[in-house]
Amino acid sequence: MSEVKILSVSKSFNSSKVLNNINIDIKNGELISLLGPSGCGKSTTLKLIAGILNPDEGDILFDNKSVLKLKTEKRDAAIVFQEYLLFPHMNIYENIAFGLKVKKIPKKDVDSRVSELLETIKLSSEKYKYPSELSGGQKQRVAIARALAINPKILLLDEPFSSLDINLRNEMREFVLEIQKKYNITTVLVTHDKEEALIMSDRIAVMLDGEIKQFDTPYNLYKSPKTKEVANIFGERN
């Protein structure tokens, strides 16, 4: 886990500005959400933190050190996408162990780490199954376990529940909260679902058109929205 700061970050694609002077500071072990409509720049922000993209301006700090020069593999940021991209030709155990093997962790340490994670996600008895033999929720749990295997400094979740049905979605929200508390891992959840952001987050960054309109606790967003847009999302000012 880590403290993460996004400082005055801007990003354009083909001369169109998709992020305009973004500032977010995330505390150790905090779970924040980026909440906003499709196209407002949420995924781009996650990719900048993960190092899949680099900003045009600004800086990104992990524990007060710039990570801009570090490639994705060196940043220890784990990203989970909506469509849980498991390796279809590897069983569950191998999927979770993959990142550890890449890091050349000794086999016995890989074994104990993967076993612990399998227990956490309650899939110990399915470890020799392949992704195609699992349900959507199970696959998503494996994807999260795989992300956690390397002990990342930050866990980045890009709309991880949106392809799941409503019951499963609730179950997965609880699961992520449980695991986030257990490992006390700094987490950024991307969502366009206000309820989800409210249930899950310590703080929410409300994004619109590449800008953060307010970054605050759920309570303060309700109680004292700072702009008309935020008031429209969280109920009127009174």
Closest approach of ligand ADP to the CB of residue 39, in Å: 4
Dihedral, 175, 185, 38, 138 alpha carbons, nearest 10: -30
In the bound state with Mg ion, the residue whose beta carbon lies nearer, of 124 and 162, is 162
* 45 in contact with Mg ion (CB under 5 A): no
CB 57 within 8 A of CB 77: no
Cα separation, 98 vs 119, whole angstroms: 17
Give how many residues touch ligand ADP by CB under 6 A.
10
Instruction: State how far the Cα of 37 lies from the Cα of 197, in Å rounded to an integer.
Output: 13
64 binds ligand ADP (CB under 6 A): no
For 48, 77, 78, 128, the CA distances from 187, given in Å and listed in that order, are: 15, 10, 10, 29
Q: Which residue is nearest to Mg ion (CB)?
A: 43
Among 7, 10, 18, 105, binds ligand ADP (CB under 6 A): 18
Is 43 a binding residue for Mg ion by CB under 5 A? The answer is yes
For the CA atoms of 196, 200, 201, 205, the dihedral, rounded to the nearest 10 degrees, stands at: -20
Of residues 41 and 131, the one with the C-beta less far from Mg ion = 41
- DSSP alpha helix (H) spans, 51-106: 72-75, 92-102
> Can residue 38 be called a binding residue for ligand ADP (CB under 6 A)?
yes
Helix (H, G, I), strand (E, B) or coil at 70: coil
Member of 2, 44, 191, 201 binding ligand ADP (CB under 6 A): 44
Alpha-carbon distances of 135 from 107, 149, 186, rounded to whole Å: 28, 21, 27
Task: Show the DSSP H helices in 84-210 as ranges.
Answer: 92-102, 107-120, 136-149, 166-183, 194-200
Binding to ligand ADP by residue 39, rule CB under 6 A?
yes
Pick one of Mg ion, ligand ADP, none as the site partner of residue 41 (Cβ within 5 to 8 A by kind). Answer: ligand ADP
Q: Tokens standing for 78?
A: 């784990």
Q: Which stretch binds Mg ion (CB under 5 A): 43-51, 55-63, 115-123, 134-142?
A: 43-51
125 binds ligand ADP (CB under 6 A): no
Say which entry of Mg ion, ligand ADP, none residue 44 contacts (CB below 5 to 8 A, set by partner kind): ligand ADP
Asked if residue 213 binds ligand ADP (CB under 6 A), the reply is no
Among 8, 13, 102, 184, binds ligand ADP (CB under 6 A): 13
Cβ proximity to ligand ADP: between 36 and 137 the closer is 36
Q: Which residues bind Mg ion (CB under 5 A)?
A: 43
Q: Which residues bind ligand ADP (CB under 6 A)?
A: 13, 18, 36, 38-44
